[in-house]
Structure 1
């Protein structure tokens, strides 16, 4: 689902990550059948990740509603699209053209097999701002994927190079931590991956802070720390929009 990493050096590291990631996803029961994928983010209440998908459904509906109010046509890029469920939903927005990329070939092939829309293009590739000649994206989406990129400001600066003058980057379903929380968060991740039998995965997971966005023009569209959101919405993830 969210596999690209700006910090990779060379094909060997990228290949190692892909192998580890797919094995872990299989163990975590995060690889879905074609029939299940067609229905995401809706999934049966007995599924191990049912509550996670309730949150992702909420985030995706909020983004789609926002984008529906945008100008048409609209060029969208999703980076780290995984099995493509969100890209397919965004392709349902009138006037949209969606490009969705990921280095995980197995899930990209599944996405191509399951979702057939003329305005939806899945590509197995790493992000490169020069990889889209002649295209200026209006919207770029990172959904549950930005934790696999570092340094944060560097990747966002690169993304802005292939965007329209009024383009926006939308970051969803990703944790942002306070400085005082970073050490504990890193330890939890290390312990989790070690407990799963994949300690090397901790090298590819990055814990970001809101302060890393300093110097960029951004707005917090949804703040999980807001008291009302904590009481009634209970979505733990920020929604952040970075403007061109």
Structure 2
């Protein structure tokens, strides 16, 4: 399964390493995750996005489970065996769950080696491979993937347009990019959102994390054509601080929205 055009430098506890390992982001990110009670045991991880009633983020996971189910149903419309790249895969729950019902090849990429190792341990499968790598330097061949997903991770990329252009080079001619459960803000709200984020990370005791969290607007995608495929009713009433969206991009650029509120950032 491994390759489209990959030349992994070496394997670290089952994780294919595609670029230099850097610990600065991972160290602060994991400290924040622990403070937020988002570090999960193997037994908890294998169930996600379906969480127990004791999970402090149960309501959020309920919403993410709905997004997951919609995407899972969407994949059923695809007849061929797919190559799927999951960018910002974290602990691997998304593709780990999808692999139970879909005969696709999953390539899961992140720069968090700790969570990648847990993912490789919990979701061990011939159809799933986990990679440590910077997507801008990782050695994936162009036109390799049928679908690329970015699930609740786009906020960790500072330049959204540059990211999309890079991913377009990696998908096939009929390929798609799906951005799921990711925060987007109105242009007028960005500055307030940045202040909320700064205040939030200050309150956790990790003010430096604000340097890794980026606030994107749909205006950044103005160079792309797009069409809204899904939009909840009464959207104005639901979106107050920012929206978490599900976006599907083709080379013609189509957006599919799954919006819900988050009050912290």
Unaligned runs of 5+ in 2: 1-18, 252-265
Q: How far apart, CA to CA, are the structure 1 residues paired with 2:117 and 2:227?
A: 35
Of residues 155, 159, 162, the one that matches 2:167 is 159
- Equivalent residue runs for 1:41-52 within 5 Å: 41-52=49-60
Deviations, residues 47-69 of structure 1 (Å, cap 9, x unaligned) = 11111110110111111111110
Larger mean Cα displacement after TM superposition, 89-98 or 36-45: 89-98
Matched, 1:118 2:132: no
RMSD over equivalenced CA pairs, Å: 2.2
- Equivalent residue runs for 1:139-150 within 5 Å: 139-150=147-158
- Equivalent residue runs for 1:13-92 within 5 Å: 14-92=22-100
Q: How far apart, CA to CA, are the structure 2 residues paired with 1:164 and 1:93?
A: 23
The alpha-carbon deviation at position 230 of structure 1 amounts to 5.8
Task: Give the structure 2 partner of residue 183 of structure 1.
Answer: 191
Deviations, residues 120-178 of structure 1 (Å, cap 9, x unaligned) = 11112221365223761010000000000021010110011111001111011111111
Task: Give the structure 2 partner of residue 243 of structure 1.
Answer: 250
Q: TM-score, normalised by structure 1?
A: 0.87
Q: Number of residue pairs matched?
A: 230
Unaligned runs of 5+ in 1: 1-9
The alpha-carbon deviation at position 46 of structure 1 amounts to 2.3
Matched, 1:174 2:172: no
The alpha-carbon deviation at position 22 of structure 1 amounts to 0.6
SS at match of 2:105: strand
